[in-house]
A = this chain, B = another copy of it.
């Protein structure tokens, strides 16, 4: 059950160090066209992509994302945005009141899902060309500043970056949750004992991965790492911010 597509997908690892070599315009165009080929909810195409080449803009984005050097140093930097701005314009062009729709939580979800489907096509396309990628959720640390920098209007939210470039490292693949824990047959798993024992099994896998990778210095489990991270609520300004952008209001 192997083919070049599945091979590309299964070979994925995030690349956090790139050669100093820009993508060509043709590469950028192909990546964006692949993004656009993704499915979209009822044809709405509720996303935009901002491509950043400018070194100063990249440097500022890297700072805003928490000083991740690969946001500054890469072959190209894409910013994927949820976008209902063009739908507001469409409503004005057609003289229809589309605001209650645009402000709904349903359309907020549609825009997020549309943007992510497009982004994953872009990621796979880039990887198929021998490039590496890393998603940059760190952009959400400070979206007001990101919006100012990229001149993003109302009804547009930068969701994450995608750093793309020629890999200058070859990290290990990170082990995923057990198949049976993620894939449920017919109904969601009801057996709490089984559910927890799958998480414990995964903890052993993740520990072994870290021990091997750090010569025993780190031995984090998954539940330990996740519970630690989640016990420090992050980006709690988000609700107010997305509402201010005209999303998720009703």
A interface residues with partner B (beta carbon < 8 Å) = 1, 3-6, 8-10, 12, 14, 26-27, 29-30, 32-39, 41-45, 47-54, 57, 81, 86-87, 89-91, 93-94, 96-98, 100-102, 104-107, 109-110, 112-113, 115-117, 119-121, 123-125, 127-129, 133-135, 137, 140, 149-153, 156, 159-160, 174, 176-177, 179, 181-188, 190, 192, 195-196, 199, 222-236, 238-239, 242, 248, 250
Contact = CB atoms under 8 A, between A and B. Distances in A.
A69 to B, nearest CB: 18
Contact of A229 (B34, B37, B42, B187): B42
A34 B182 CA distance: 12
Nearest to A240: B105
Given A6-B128, A98-B227, A176-B37, A184 B51 contact: yes
A200 to B, nearest CB: 8
A163 B188 CA distance: 18
Name the 9 nearest CB pairs between A and B, nearest first: A5-B128, A116-B116, A94-B227, A98-B230, A120-B120, A105-B239, A90-B223, A151-B187, A101-B230
A101 B151 contact: no
A241 to B, nearest CB: 8
Query: What is the oligomeric copy number?
Result: 2
Nearest to A130: B3
A100 B229 CA distance: 12
A146 to B, nearest CB: 11
A140 to B, nearest CB: 7
A10 B100 CA distance: 34
A164 to B, nearest CB: 13
A109 to B, nearest CB: 6
Contacts of A3: 4, 128-129
Contacts of A120: 38-39, 116-117, 120-121, 124
